[in-house]
Amino acid sequence: MIVVGGMIGLGKTSMARLLGGHFDSEVFYESVDDNPILPLFYTSSEEEIEKYRYPFLLQLHFLDTRFKSIKEALDNKHNVLDRSIYEDWYFAKVNNDLGRISDLEFQLYNRLLDNMLEELEGMPKKAPDLMVYLKGSFETVLNRIAMRGRSYELDESLKAYYHKLWEGYDEWVMKHYIASDVVIVDMDKYDIVNREEDAKEVIRLVEEKLRNKSE
C-alpha cells in the first residue's frame, strides 16, 4: 500500500492516479467533491467558524472517511491512497494552534484517532509500505491551488492559513511520521501531468524505494 501525502494543491490526486495506473491498483481518493463541510470551512467568517465549529467538523469528516479507506486498503494487496489518516493529525494540530479547533476538541480528536489506529493493528497489514511525499515552495503551492480553480480555495485571506500549513509540513513528515518509509518528490522540479519523462522518473524513484524495502 502506498499513501500520497503533501501540502494542499501540490498534485496528490494526479500522483495517486499515476501510481495506481502503473501498479494496476485501486486508488482511494480524498473526499473533496462530496464533502459538504469543505466549502464552509474555506468561506465562512471567523464568527461563523467560532459558532458552527467547521474546522472540527471537517477534521471529523476526514477522519471518518479516511479510516474507512485505510481499512479497505489494508485488507487488500495493492492500493494507493490520496492522503491518509496519518496526516490528518497534522491538519488538526495546525487548526488547534490557530485557535480554530479548541483544546477540548483536539483532545477528543486525539482519542478518536488513537482508537482508530489501535483497530488497524488487527488488519492483515498494519501500515502502509511507503509514503510518497510531495514537497514544494510556497509559490508553487499557491500557483497550483490557483490553477485547479476551486473557487472556495482562492480567497486572498486564506494565504496565511496555507502558509501555516506549509511551513511545518516538511518537519512533520521528517520528524514525526513513523508509519512507513518515505520517498520525497520535489514538485518544483517534477511535472508528472505534462511531462512524461518526469512521470517515469517518479515511478522509478518509487519502485527503487520499494525494492530497497523488500531486500
Output the pLDDT for position 126: 65
Task: Note down the domain range covering 115.
Answer: 2-214
DSSP 190: -
Nearest to 102 by CA among 154, 49, 148: 49
> In the structure, what pLDDT confidence band is assigned to residue 123 with cuts at 50, 70 and 90?
low
Quick one: CA dihedral 165, 168, 171, 177, positive or negative? negative
Q: Which CA distances in Å does 97 have to 76, 102, 150?
A: 36, 9, 26
* pLDDT tens by residue, 185-202: 999 999 999 999 999 999
Quick one: CA dihedral 90, 19, 189, 158, positive or negative? negative
Give how far the C-alpha of residue 144 lies from the chain's centroid of Cα atoms, to the nearest Å: 15
Annotation marks residue 82 as catalytic: yes
CA gap 76, 24 in Å, rounded: 13
Q: Per-residue pLDDT averaged across 5-14, rounded?
A: 93
Catalytic residue among 34, 82, 129, 155: 82
Q: Which CA distances in Å does 132 have to 45, 87, 199?
A: 34, 12, 13
* pLDDT tens by residue, 26-59: 898 877 777 889 889 988 888 998 899 999 999 9
Q: Of the ranges 85-89, 117-121, 175-179, which one carries the lowest mean pLDDT score?
A: 117-121
How many domains does the structure of the chain reveal?
1
79 neighbors 24 (Cβ within 8 angstroms): no
Hey, is 37 helix, strand or coil?
coil
Q: Which three cell numbers stand for residue 169?
A: 509540513
Burial (CB count within 10 angstroms: exposed 0-12, middle 13-18, buried 19+), residue 50? middle
Quick one: CA dihedral 163, 154, 10, 137, positive or negative? negative
What DSSP string runs through 121-187?
TTSSS-S-SEEEEEE--HHHHHHHHHHHT-GGG--GGGHHHHHHHHHHHHHHHHHT--SSEEEEEET
CATH number of the domain that residue 84 is part of: 3.40.50.300
The dihedrals phi and psi of 173, each to the nearest 5 degrees, come to -65, -45
